[in-house]
Amino acid sequence: MLDSKGAVKSLDRKDMLGVIEAMPRHLADGVRRGRVAGPPRFAPRNVFVCGLGGSAIGGDLLCGWLSTCTDIPATVVRSYDVPAHASKDSLVIVASYSGNTEETISMYEDARRKGAKIVAIASGGLVAQMSEKYGVPFARVPSGLVPRASLGYVFGAMLGIVELSGLAESGKQLEEALRVLNDVIATSKPAVQTADNPAKKMAHQLFGHIPVVVGYTLSRPVAKRWANQINENAKSMAFSSELPEMDHNEIVGWMKDPRSKGFSVVLLEHGQQTSAMSKRLIANSEMLSRAAPVHTVFAKGLSPLARMFSLVAMGDYVSVYLALLCEQDPSTTEPIEELKAVLAKK
């Protein structure tokens, strides 16, 4: 089925596979947009990325990457308010792809009240209007995508913003990330038959199981991206977990609950771990394989940014291929729209 152009086209009505293939271009363009919109250089005491859903996952990845190259704490906030310690010394990046996310707009207003330095990212909507009204630096990204498909643009804009503020410099890491993304696309795109396509193979292996995607340090936010993409694209249950925390609680459920056989574990190895973590990864793979199928995905590249995005692209492909195996249009998310309609009622 995954090798049939007609079957793929009939289900992938908004060409989500094409969006993944365009990720390198989106990422490079997003960085440019962020650099143009960024604030004056200053040394923030902390960084907050405010957003929800597909707009917030870029913040998870940004904070994961920043932890490798700066000692300034960076946190993603998914709420109605920014933390109480946000201040004039804080850099607050407000991200809402639509520009109309209720919680994000509330955080935008709260950050203004606290006097934080704000930079906003959106395709339009109220966030764009507020930024123009308040004179807030604003990175406009192209409209027309579902929010989760805008990751390249949104993360790229965030990267451009932190670069211009002087927090970090991506430089050669970005160049390598773009090359590695193209390498992953070359082996995982729809034209590559299942026998030679690692993403299609993984989708077949996960089909009929509930995936639990496990990350650690740099791959922890990528595990969340994998699970969320499977939730929305494949309309399937999926969860993320992290090491070493899961070894202090979750491992008991895996080993003692007979329902574990209905799950599959996906270990995301970024390859830049300590020897203690390497030992833990081996031990977990051996133990968990007694309870459920275990699949390990290895990052490509040398730099943290390249390794992270190689895993992101693989997960995006797997989620769309899973959607097709489940006979689902990967672009639709009716339950989210239904819930929004309910919440909008007075």
Q: Where are the domains of the chain?
A: 38-169, 179-325
**Model pLDDT, residue 346:** 64
Provide the residue count of the chain: 346
Neighbours of 67 (CB within 10 A): 17
What are the structure tokens assigned to 319, written together? 């989620």
Neighbours of 206 (CB within 10 A): 25
63: helix, strand or coil: helix
| CATH code, 179-325 | 3.40.50.10490
What are the structure tokens assigned to 165, written together? 């503020």
> DSSP code of 2?
T
Kindly name the residue from 21, 232, 242, 269 that is annotated as catalytic. 232
The whole-angstrom distance between residue 281's C-alpha and the CA centroid of its chain comes to: 22
Q: 55 with 129: CB under 8 angstroms?
A: no
What are the structure tokens assigned to 150, written together? 């805008």
The pTM of this model reads 0.96
Kindly name the residue from 248, 256, 345, 346 that is annotated as catalytic. 248
Q: 181 with 310: CB under 8 angstroms?
A: yes
Class of domain 38-169: alpha beta
Q: 96 with 118: CB under 8 angstroms?
A: no
Q: Which residues pair with 212 in a beta bridge?
A: 239, 265
**Enclosing H/E stretch for 216:** none
Kindly name the residue from 85, 172, 261, 340 that is annotated as catalytic. 340
Annotation marks residue 340 as catalytic: yes
pLDDT (tens digit, 0 to 9) for every residue of the chain, 346 residues total?
A: 899 999 999 999 999 999 999 999 999 999 999 999 977 788 899 999 999 998 999 999 999 999 999 999 999 999 999 999 999 999 999 999 999 999 999 999 999 999 999 999 999 999 999 999 999 999 999 999 999 999 999 999 999 999 998 999 999 999 999 999 999 999 999 999 999 999 999 999 999 999 999 999 999 999 999 999 999 999 999 999 999 999 999 999 999 999 999 999 999 999 999 999 999 999 999 999 999 999 999 999 999 999 999 999 999 999 999 999 999 999 999 999 999 899 888 6
Same fold, 38-169 and 179-325: yes
Annotation marks residue 248 as catalytic: yes
Task: Report the C-alpha dihedral over residues 181, 187, 188, 192, rounded to 10 degrees.
Answer: 150
**Model pLDDT, residue 210:** 98
Determine the Cα–Cα distance for residues 346 and 149; give it in Å rounded to an integer.
Answer: 31
93: helix, strand or coil: strand
**Model pLDDT, residue 44:** 94
